[in-house]
Amino acid sequence: MKTHYIADLTPGTRLETTFLIQSKERKTASTGKPFLDLELRDTSGVIRAKVWDCDRLDQGFEGDDFVLVQGHVEAYKGTPQVVVSKIRRCADEEIDPRDYFPRSARDPEEMYAEILGRLERMPEGPLRTLLLAVVQDPEIAAKFKLAPAAMSYHHAYLGGLLVHVLSLIQLGDQVSDHYTSLRRDLILAGLVLHDLGKIEELSFTRGFRYTTRGQLLGHITIGLEIVRAKLRDIPDFPAALKDQIEHIILSHHGQLEFGSPKEPMFPEALVIHYLDNLDSKLESMRAQYAADKDRASDFTARNPALKRELLKPKLD
């Protein structure tokens, strides 16, 4: 268990705790002496570290490894940095990824319970059976609680997928209240399942990146496979409903050039496409505002996902 967090380190602190190595570079000091220049990260931030005795200590760890570090903190040009006296790689089982990456404000278990509660309140029927089978599958559940909703575009933190889906479920119920001819349970199903493939498209236990499978297939195609596997286990699942669920997953990016080989062909698929877009982009704006809150301008920097600057909020 992690004992010290970067945000709390001040010059003088002695520490023995774990970090993720974000980058590692061998350099030469002006004295000609070689050293390792590391960037260490945990969920609270990033700190630079120096390993002077590097010929002895540089063994068995690389970028993206977790390490147990012993050392102390010094100030260098006004910024704290760690001077390392011992360092060794940790085994994966010593590590809880939530200690090393940004994570959701709300507790994932709590959000997961809320989603589950909503699904259990659905009327009996094949969609309820499917959704519970998916969400309660232990292997899926474990990843579902951890996954970010995207690499960097939106909800890019552990638990982000849960935050996104929970927000969508609430919105979906409101929209179903408003447009009474819509099939509420199909919308609910689409909102829970549309991004499910992200749990295998992204790798998020050592750093956020695409898995090989994710890069070759994408989360839409992966999600279809997960859902189809569950559908096979449900006797008498209606064939037409299966096609519709699959179409919703397939079409949720809305346009071919965004990776959906089909465009939404019925109202519930359309709703899922628009709500997903709305929630993703609002969250992307929120994160941009947070990042640029000290920027001296009426506008943020260019948001790479939205490809535009954003007007910063203020009281009028």
Q: Is 76 in the site for its own copies (CB under 8 A)?
A: no
Q: Considering only residues 172 through 211, tell me which ones interact with its own copies, judged by CB under 8 A.
A: 174-175, 177-179, 181, 183
Q: Is 285 in the site for its own copies (CB under 8 A)?
A: yes
Which amino acid type is present at position 194? Answer: H
Stretch that binds its own copies, among 49-57, 114-122, 156-164, 219-227 (CB under 8 A): 219-227
Stretch that binds its own copies, among 1-9, 112-120, 158-166, 303-311 (CB under 8 A): 303-311
DSSP per residue, 101-166? S-B-SS-HHHHHHHHHHHHHTSPSSHHHHHHHHHHH-HHHHHHHHH--SSSSSSS-SBTHHHHHHH
Cα(104)–Cα(113) distance, integer angstroms:
15
Total residue length of the chain: 316
Among 55, 94, 110, 225, binds its own copies (CB under 8 A): 225
Q: Which is nearer to its own copies, 1 or 32 (CB)?
A: 32
Cα(19)–Cα(4) distance, integer angstroms:
9
Bridge partners of residue 36, in order along the sequence: 26, 51
Among 218, 234, 292, 305, binds its own copies (CB under 8 A): 218
Q: Is 142 in the site for its own copies (CB under 8 A)?
A: no
Task: Give the count of beta carbons closer than 10 Å to the beta carbon of residue 90.
Answer: 16
Where residue 140 falls (left for φ over 0; alpha for ψ -120 to 50; beta otherwise) is alpha
Number of Cα atoms under 13 Å in the Cβ half of residue 98: 16
Q: Considering only residues 14 through 33, tell me which ones interact with its own copies, judged by CB under 8 A.
A: 28
| All residues at 6 or more sequence positions from 207 whose CB lies less than 8 Å from its CB, including other chains | 20, 64
Stretch that binds its own copies, among 45-53, 82-90, 98-106, 216-224 (CB under 8 A): 216-224
Quick one: which H or E segment has residue 273?
helix 267-291
Among 1, 105, 240, 290, binds its own copies (CB under 8 A): 240
Among 6, 119, 224, 226, binds its own copies (CB under 8 A): 224
For its own copies, the binding residues (CB under 8 A) are: 28, 77, 167, 170-171, 174-175, 177-179, 181, 183, 212-213, 215-218, 220-221, 224-225, 228, 238, 240-241, 243-244, 246-247, 250, 256-263, 265-267, 270-271, 274, 277-278, 281-282, 285-286, 298-299, 306, 308-311, 313-314, 316
